[in-house]
Structures are given as C-alpha cells and as structure tokens.
Structure 1
Amino acid sequence: MTTTYTPTNRALRPGARELLNKVPEVTLWFWVIKILCTTVGESFADYINVNLGFGLVPTAIMFTVAFLAVLAAQMSARRYVPALYWLTVVVVSVTGTLYTDILTDQLGVPLWISTTVFSALLIAVFAVWWLRERTLSIHSITTTPRESFYWLTVLVTFALGTATGDWTLELTGWGPGTSVLLPLSLIAIVAALWKYGANPVLAFWIAYILTRPLGANIGDWLATPTSEKGLGLGTFGTSLVFLGAILATVVYLSVTKADVIERVGSTEDEPNDPTRERIALGAMVVVALATFGLLSWANAQPHQSALDEGPAPSCSGGSGSLDEQTAAANVTSNFPSAQVTDFKTITGDTLALVKKGDQAGAQARITDLETAWDNGQDSLSAKDCTTWTYVDGQIDQALTSVRASHPNPQTETGALQKLLTTLG
C-alpha cells in the first residue's frame, strides 16, 4: 500500500509550530518493517515476561517507562529519523500489547469487552484529532499536537489489535499457522480496495490495525514448538531473527532515504472518484460482515481455544501411583533445575503475599507460575509425563485456591506449601 500524495497544509492550526514530516512515506518498506516490529514486540515481551521471569505487571511498567523515554526523544526530533522512529514503534508495540494482556490475564476482562472498549477509545481519539486538526493523514504529521495524536492512536491500535487477535483465536481455536491467514487475507483485500479507490486514510488505519494480529501470529508460529505445529524457534530465537531483520532494514532506509517524504503540504490531496470510494466502502462492509460470519461459524465448531491450556498429556499409568516423596525425587532428578528453581521462586513469592494478606498481589504472581508451567509443558512432560501430571494437579489446586472468589488463607497456604514440598 504505497502512497504518493501529500496532504494540504491549510488545516494547520494558527500559531502551530511546523516541523518536517515526522513519519516515513508509506511504501512497501513501511509495511514490511511494521510487521517485523510487531512480531519482535510480541516475542520479546513474552521472553522478558515469562522466560526471564519478570512477570506481566513489572514488564509492563518497564516498557511504559521505556516508551515514555523513546517517545520524548522522538517528539524532540525535528525530522524523521528512521532508527528513532522504528525504535518507538517497537516499544509502543510491546507496551500496547502488555496493556491488553494485563486486562485479560490479571484483571480477567473478557476479550470481547477489551475489543469493544479499545474500539470506542480509538474512535474517540480519531474524533478529537479530526475536530482539532481537520486531517487524519499521517502525511501531515508536521506539528507537535498532530504527532501527539498520531502516537496515541498508534498505542491504541496496538492494544486493539492484540485484543482483536486474541479474541479471534479464542473464538476459532485455530493453530498458530492457520491464524496467520485471516489478517494476511484482510490486509490484501484492504490493499486491493485502496488501489481501486478506497479512502486512503481509512484504508491505512484499517491495515495498520490488522498488522498487529498478523505480526503476533507470525511470532507465535515461529516460537511455538514443532510438536504444536510451530517452527520451534522459541521467543528468544524469534526475537533475534526479527531484530536482525529490523536493524538491516533501518540501516538500508537510513542510507537510501527511500522512505523520506520530500514535500509536505505543497499541494492539495487529489480527491478520489466519489463513486469508486463509495463502492470500496461498501465492499469493506461486506468483507467485515463475511469475516464476522466466518468467526461465528468457526466458533460453533467443536474446538478448544488456542488460548486455553490444552489437555494434560496422556500418561500410560497415570500419576496415581506416585506419592509426594517420590514425586519430589522425580522432579529433582528429571526436570531441569533452572525451571524448577523458577517455579519454586514464584510459588514462594505467592505464599509470602498470601501470608501478608496481599490477595491481589498473590493472584497476579501465581499467574506467572501458570504461564511458566504451561510454556514448559511439552519439554517437561516429555521427560517424565507421570510426574508432570502429578505436579500439574497440585498447581491446579494452588491456582484454584488463590483465585477463589472468597479465598481461604489456610487453604491457599496448604496448597502452596504442598506444591513447594513437591518442587523440592
């Protein structure tokens, strides 16, 4: 979706300080690096949150601070700087994703509500932006207020894209590879309609939102173990690959300046053919309804959500023959010590929070245990499925006790201490 028009400068507010355009030209390079940034944002956030054990809320706080820092640098620049601009996109990608994850995983907000709320928020941001500036075109980011609206919009689109993408997976139960096809197809349709004569600003922002679930699904597909129909690169491997691709692309753009807008505000936007624009808008509505129908049909089919934990591994003998002492010995001898240490640390932290009476903190911390345990399911169950099943049952008891609507501290303490004993 390459654009060559430049917007009018007549919408510039009186007294506004005009800058050189602070965003890149929307060429094929723009969309390539946007998807790369989205993918690495998803995988890198998972790596820090889960693999390094930072936890969801601390990771969100860390990236919020980083976002404010790089945004301040971006806003203070007088012109478009590829490295600074795309660093901001990477960080805002992670930050927007984490905000949605907190609503879903920490606060238990259903994804359909998150999608609705972020959609309404995006419409509100667009409305205020338009009423103030009379343009939503990214080719007119030549004042500080317009740049502020632009980055606020980008942040909301990442949060909305995350909620919409996760909700789609929840409705359909599609695997990581299949889930790439829907946003990819929708982006291709939007690009074709833009080429035909759709409103360029509307087409741009729809495609921009869709790149978020596309990039996230690509990242999940690459990072997911091969046993679950992924490519098995892991979150760290995926992050390295895409960071390298981003770095190479940014260096290329910095040297060639292939994405620099040469002229700003020198001519009027050439209006599209009104008939073609109306036809394209009608086609977008039809595609939206068809997508809704597809998701409704997929949701009606027997499936398990791709976001669910999945069934416990089937072990020939089950775990009924194990006692706590044997299970603890098996955990020590058969499971990687680093992972076991991580599980013990999180469980101990949760127990300490329960004893302090910090129920909200305990519920937040035990979510980290759930995430780490689920991520290790394939490797751990392959090493000792019987012991894995035994520990999985204890973790379920701990999760249930801590997340109860009316938690009993004695029950919570008992479940967590029993789990700690099994973990050694």
Structure 2
Amino acid sequence: MTTNTHVAAGHSRHRRMWNKVPEVTLYFWVIKILCTTVGETAADLLNANLGLGLTNTSYVMGALLAVALVFQFRARAYVPGLYWLAVVLISVVGTLISDNLTDNVGVPLETTTAVFAVALALTFAGWYLSERTLSIHTIRTGRREAFYWLAILFTFALGTAAGDLVAERLSLGYWLSALVFAVLIAAVAVAHRTLDLNAVWSFWIAYILTRPLGASLGDYLSQPRADGGLNLGAVGTSVLFLAVILGLVLYLARTKRDVAPVPVEASADAVSR
C-alpha cells in the first residue's frame, strides 16, 4: 500500500471517529424547520388524536428519544438518518416538556420562557467553561456531544414557550407569526454577514427562532379553517413533512453534501496514528 493510501485511510478512520453532526448548509436549515413542524404536529397527534394524553405521550416519546440518543452517541460518525431521527424526537420531547409545564402544572408561559432561557444559558456556560468553545464544528468528544444535545433540547423547549407566548399574548395568527419569526431569522443572517455578528451566536439564535417558525407553519397547515389554518390535520401535516424529511435525508446520505470537513489538526492526528 502506498503512502497516499495510508494517508487516505487515516483520514477515513478519523472521519468515522470524529464527525458527529452535519455541516450547516441550506439543507440543514430546511430539514431543521421541517423537524420542528413535525415536533408540533406529532405532539398534537399523539396527545389529542390518539388520546394518549400529555403525560403518556411524554413517557413514550422520552423513551424513544433515549434509545435514539444511545445509538447516536455510540456511532463513530455522523449518520444522517440517525442524527435527524434524534432531532425529530427531541423536537417532540421539547414541545411536550413546555406543554406539560403550561397545561398540566399551570406554569405561566412567561415563567416557562424565562426558565428555559436560563437553563439554556447555564448549558452554554457549562459547555464553554469545560470546552472553551460553543462551536458546532468541533463536536468530536462525548462531553461536547452531551452539551450539544442538551442545548438542542432547551432550544426546542424555549422556542415552544416563547412562540406560544407571542402567539397567545399578541394574537397574531399562524401565518403572521411565521412571518415575524422568518423576518427575525433573516435579520440574524444579515447581522452575521454585514455586521460581523459572531457565527456561533448567530447559529444558536437562529436555531431557537426556527422552533416557533416551524410550529407556526405546522399550526397553519393543520388547524381548522375556522381557527385560521388550512385544515390539513395533524396526521396529514405530519405525514407530509416526514416524507419530505425522509427524502432529503436519503439524498444527503447518498451525496454526503452535509458532511463536515475534517479539521486540519485532527487529520494530522489521525495520520500520525
């Protein structure tokens, strides 16, 4: 075997070992918004349409998420199907956590929004103090991955609470709420490109905002026309979006368009072994 072959093999082994999350591309944001929408509609479907109730739905989805995360942590590489399955499930669980506190416990939306914001801030603080970075381009240790998924869980819970707070207090309606959050995301993107807003914070702010955006889209599609929706129903909306997610994930699994490049220092490490 030639030296070049050994180098390529070293790179391949390192890629399998370290890259656990996708590169942030347009595909990433599209699938993330779709997952967010499914998180809203699937929670409604299981809770109301199938009659499981918030508590039982939370138990079922929490168990499924735990199983998915076990496989995600055990994987040696970013696996599109496994990664996005975990995101879909964590979007449902994040929605259910917020809904349980509001509907079952009676905690005001203002309080849940503040609590989840603090929880997310503490997660970021712990992540930075232990790793000296919040970059999603270096999720290559178990500890970083744990912080990553915990942060994602709180972004979904915070996005749910904040989105419901805006929708209920301002009574904007579904499509107008979606437009507001889309404009806010666009503003973050513009600030990042033209005002040098930090890339890490730009990402996480946009990640939080896509949750209420996706929820507003889901409600608009699924709710009855009398309530301002298109009356596709929770089943129809969930199936439609899951089909699109599946198609995009299969495409990415085949093309590798969202596989993050191996850091130079990490590649050198792998070759030296």
TM-score (structure 1 length as normaliser): 0.58
Whole-angstrom CA distance in 2 between matches of 1:49 and 1:171: 24
Determine which of 160, 163, 169 is the counterpart of 1:162.
160
- Asked which structure has the greater RCO (Cα within 8 Å, sep 6+), the reply is 2
Where does residue 9 of structure 2 map in the other structure? none
3-state DSSP of counterpart to 1:19 = helix
CA deviations on 1:169-211 (whole Å, 9 max, x unpaired) are 1210111111111111000110111112210000000000001
Where does residue 139 of structure 1 map in the other structure? 137
Can you give the 5+ residue segments of structure 1 that lack an aligned partner in the other structure?
A: 1-17, 268-424
TM-score (structure 2 length as normaliser): 0.90
Whole-angstrom CA distance in 1 between matches of 2:197 and 2:177: 26
Higher helix share: 2
Where does residue 12 of structure 1 map in the other structure? none
* Residue correspondences, number: 250
Whole-angstrom CA distance in 2 between matches of 1:238 and 1:226: 14
Whole-angstrom CA distance in 1 between matches of 2:255 and 2:193: 26
Letter paired with 2:33: I
3-state DSSP of counterpart to 1:25 = coil
Determine which of 85, 88, 106 is the counterpart of 1:87.
85
Whole-angstrom CA distance in 1 between matches of 2:79 and 2:264: 19
Determine which of 174, 192, 195 is the counterpart of 2:193.
195
Letter paired with 1:21: N
Determine which of 26, 42, 55 is the counterpart of 2:53.
55
Whole-angstrom CA distance in 1 between matches of 2:148 and 2:229: 35
Where does residue 293 of structure 1 map in the other structure? none
Whether the aligned pair in 2 keeps the contact of 1:21 and 1:264 (CA below 8 Å) is: no
Letter paired with 1:175: G
Whether the aligned pair in 2 keeps the contact of 1:47 and 1:236 (CA below 8 Å) is: yes
Whole-angstrom CA distance in 2 between matches of 1:253 and 1:181: 28
Whole-angstrom CA distance in 2 between matches of 1:129 and 1:72: 20
Give % identity. 54
Shift of 1:264: 2.4
1:238 is aligned to 2:237: yes
3-state DSSP of counterpart to 2:229 = coil
1:74 is aligned to 2:72: yes
Shift of 1:230: 1.2
Cα 1:180–1:151, aligned 2, differ >3 Å: closer, same or farther?
same
Where does residue 185 of structure 1 map in the other structure? 183
3-state DSSP of counterpart to 1:174 = coil
Letter paired with 1:256: T
Can you give the 5+ residue segments of structure 2 that lack an aligned partner in the other structure?
A: 1-15, 267-273
Where does residue 207 of structure 2 map in the other structure? 208
Note the 1:3-402 alignment, pairs <5 A.
19-196=17-194, 197-264=196-263, 266=265
CA deviations on 1:85-137 (whole Å, 9 max, x unpaired) are 00000000000110000000000000000011111111111001000000100
Whether the aligned pair in 2 keeps the contact of 1:157 and 1:209 (CA below 8 Å) is: yes
Mean alpha-carbon deviation: is it higher for 167-176 or for 239-248? 167-176
CA deviations on 1:383-408 (whole Å, 9 max, x unpaired) are xxxxxxxxxxxxxxxxxxxxxxxxxx
- Runs of 4 or more above 4 Å deviation: none
Whether the aligned pair in 2 keeps the contact of 1:118 and 1:156 (CA below 8 Å) is: yes
RMSD, aligned α-carbons: 1.2
Shift of 1:265: 5.2
